[in-house]
Chain A
Amino acid sequence: MLKGIDISTSALVAQRQRMNTIAGNIASVNVSHDPNSGEVPFFRRIVTFQADTESVSLEQSGVGVKYKVEIDTDTELRKTYSPGHPHADQDGNVTYPNVDVVTEFVNALEAGRAYEANISALDITKEMFNTSLRILA
């Protein structure tokens, strides 16, 4: 019973991390310079989910969720022609991160909804737990 709370919590943590990552992506959408390497400023981060089958055997009970933050280097970087820009290359192009704001917003919406769904599941679990406790009363 209390495991249900842990399972829902694992998903809450994962979705929140996804939201944080998306926020980071959107925040860095116009970054054009990295003081350390001086070249590619920022690559889009993606949070990937995986069923947490290691801590529990599948037959036993519900399965939580695990996440991993990965870097997307496959999507092409955005290049904008603006010759006067201090970070422009020889051809006058400025390189921006491979972040697409629309995609990020759609993902953010999905993460928010999934978070809400898990909160609802948590509420039902709590309600059931309280019902069980009433036997004692």
Chain B
Amino acid sequence: MLEQILNSNSLPMLEKMAAFAERRQDVLAGNIANIDTPGYKMRDLPVNEFQQALREAVQLKDHLSEPAAQRSLGMPITLGENQSVETQLERLFPKSLFQAQEASPQNLTFQDANNRSMESQVMQMTKNSLMQQFAVQVMMSQLNQLMTVISERP
């Protein structure tokens, strides 16, 4: 019961977003740690693929919410029709999205074969941190909403 309520809004997707941002933070921290390492190539998680997966998840949720809302109000909306939410999320966000790979070489490669760019790394890190904060804030407000409903007080 509670699980269905918790999975009915965008909480699962926000959770993935926060998890992704936290994972990416480790990778970006590793890049800055190796800013003086000869031969090191900047690494990153597949951000575009993740955004794509997120878009698909949102579309699937929108698609599923329509007939479910018509069926009956008591029926909670979940991400999947028959499958559990976990398996659906597993399919939409495979593990490969959370694995670091060498980023495509956009920057100048220096003589020591390191393609460092402090500016872009710090900018990515800031954006990433903001994305994580956004996900957590929205998650919190949704949970607060649930709390309001539970306590029956505005």
Complex: how many Å from CA A48 to CA B36? 9
Complex: how many Å from CA A43 to CA B91? 59
| A131 near B136: Cβ-Cβ < 8 Å | yes
| A118 near B37: Cβ-Cβ < 8 Å | no
| B140 near A61: Cβ-Cβ < 8 Å | no
| B22 near A62: Cβ-Cβ < 8 Å | no
Interface of B, secondary structure class, is helix
Is B107 an interface residue when CB atoms closer than 8 A count as contact? no
- For B31, the closest partner residue in chain A by CB is A62
Q: How far is the CB of A124 from chain B (nearest CB, A)?
A: 5
Which of A5, A118, A131, A135 has its CB near the most chain B CB atoms (within 10 A)?
A131
Residues on B lying within 8 angstroms of A by beta carbon are 18, 21-23, 25-40, 43, 99-101, 118, 122, 125-126, 129, 132-133, 136, 139-140, 143
| A117 near B118: Cβ-Cβ < 8 Å | yes
| A60 near B100: Cβ-Cβ < 8 Å | yes
* Tally of contact residues, A, Cβ under 8 A: 38
- A135 and B26 in contact, given A51-B40, A114-B35, A118-B33 (Cβ under 8 angstroms): no
Is A105 an interface residue when CB atoms closer than 8 A count as contact? no
